[in-house]
Amino acid sequence: MLTMRMKTHTEYLWFETRKREEFVRITDEVEQIVIESGITEGMVLVSAMHITAAVYVNDWEGGLIADIHEWLDHLAPKKNYRHHQTGEDNGEAHLKNLIMHHQVILPITNGSLDLGPWQQVFYAEFDGQRRKRVVVKVMGM
């Protein structure tokens, strides 16, 4: 009887954005980690390890990215939040994280990300210009 055992592989992507708010396409980096893991069937968790950043899947089109940015600014505008009474100035960044979520789980089939034709993976930074990271955990067989 052949038994297969689940494997895991973990790597980190590091970011230090030039702007306070920035969207970074990370599809190729995640795909490379999946390939290096040797896992051919399973899933990959991509998770921002900061409460003022997000990971999401959508289309890689400049107009849409601008629309997302504008939409988020409308939902969580820059203003004087109660959080700022602690000495911070990033209240809207925390709210944008809640709207966009901090992680995605993606399927792996035949050793590659199994994304739709227009799907791309993005890191969204809402309080940048300092070093932050994303964990990429590949799980499967």
pLDDT in tens, the chain (141 residues): 667 789 999 999 999 999 999 999 999 999 999 999 999 999 999 999 999 999 999 999 999 999 999 999 999 999 999 999 999 999 999 999 999 999 999 999 999 999 999 999 999 999 999 999 999 999 999
This prediction's pTM: 0.94
Question: What is the identity of the amino acid at 109?
Answer: T
Q: Which residues are CB-contacts of 25 (< 8 A; sequence separation ≥ 6)?
A: 60, 120, 121, 122
Q: How many CB atoms lie within 10 A of CB 98?
A: 12
Q: Could you tell me which CATH number the domain at 7-78+88-140 has?
A: 2.60.120.460
Rounded distance between C-alpha atoms, residue 33 and residue 4, angstroms: 21
Rounded distance between C-alpha atoms, residue 76 and residue 94, angstroms: 9
What SS3 class is residue 120? strand
Domain locations along the chain:
7-78+88-140
What the block records as the tokens of 16 is 């230090």
Rounded distance between C-alpha atoms, residue 114 and residue 106, angstroms: 7
